[in-house]
Amino acid sequence: MGIDETINVTKILFSGIGVSLKIFVLTLIFSLPLGVIVALARNSKLKLISTITKAYILLIRGTPIMLQIIFVYFAPYYIFNMTYDRFTAIIVAFVINYAAYFSEIFRSGINSISQGQREAAYTLGFDKFQTFFLIILPQVIKVVLPPISNEVISLLKTTSLAQIIGVTEMFALAQKQASYNFSVIPLCIAGVYYLILVFVISIVFSKLEKKLDYYN
């Protein structure tokens, strides 16, 4: 590939970043709060709710995300004889997958907060809702931020799997350009884009950790 072709490919791949980031952002918007809900359900004293949640987490963590994407996209057709667009399917699959992983991170954070803080909050007149959102959750966020950052970075790179069901994101474009030009340079350019995005995410989480590290 010459310089002109490389520049052209770079521009083409840059146009695919938007789709990758859209998948990334939408997945985070829905999976993070869902992860908190699942974590609370996992800790529920109701045996049925706790058991169902455990089964969901085991199923998601025990099967490949590629299989989950294919199932989410094709299962509605075979079971209910209905279809929906590929982009929606990829978001649903990613949200279901990452909510399970986020839930275990949140659960460990929730369980790390001492029971004494809850009892103190109840003594001060806080109800369970206020205690969780005003006392427990802010501390949990501080505790779970490092492992959450790892999953967020993993999510960014996992967006490349959207091409499995035909969603054209950045890496899918890189593969097409690599085949068209008989060169690995498009793949290397895509790698550089991913590296830049990961670097930005790492900086954001680093600043968040420093901001929340109010004891030091």
What is the pLDDT at residue 214?
57
**Conformation bin of residue 82: beta by default, left when phi > 0, alpha when psi is -120 to 50:** beta
Class of residue 116 by CB neighbours under 10 A (exposed 0-12, middle 13-18, buried 19+): exposed
Contact 23, 91 (CB under 8 A): yes
3-state percent helix, strand, coil for the chain, nearest multiple of 5:
85, 0, 15
Considering only residues 136 and 155, tell me which one the structure prediction assigns the higher pLDDT. 155
The tens digit of pLDDT for each residue in 33-52 reads 999 999 999 999 899 999 99
3-state SS, residue 34: helix
Where are the extended beta strands (E) located within 101-214? Answer: none
Check pLDDT > 70 for residue 213.
Answer: yes
Dihedral of the alpha carbons of 146, 150, 155, 156, in degrees to the nearest 10: 100
The tens digit of pLDDT for each residue in 65-114 reads 999 999 999 999 888 888 888 999 999 999 999 999 999 999 999 888 88
**What CA–CA distance (Å, rounded) separates 51 from 137?**
24
Contact 99, 65 (CB under 8 A): no
Task: Please report the sign of the dihedral spanned by the C-alpha atoms of residue 91, residue 94, residue 95, residue 96.
Answer: positive
3-state SS, residue 138: helix
Find the domain containing 133 and state its range. Answer: 3-212
**Whole-prediction pTM:** 0.90
3-state SS, residue 81: coil
- Provide the pLDDT confidence category of residue 26 given band limits of 50, 70 and 90: very high
Instruction: Give the other-Cβ count within 10 Å of 100's Cβ.
Output: 23
What CATH number did the domain enclosing 89 receive? 1.10.3720.10
Considering only residues 148 and 137, tell me which one the structure prediction assigns the higher pLDDT. 148
Mean pLDDT over 158-162 rounds to: 93
What is the pLDDT at residue 23?
95
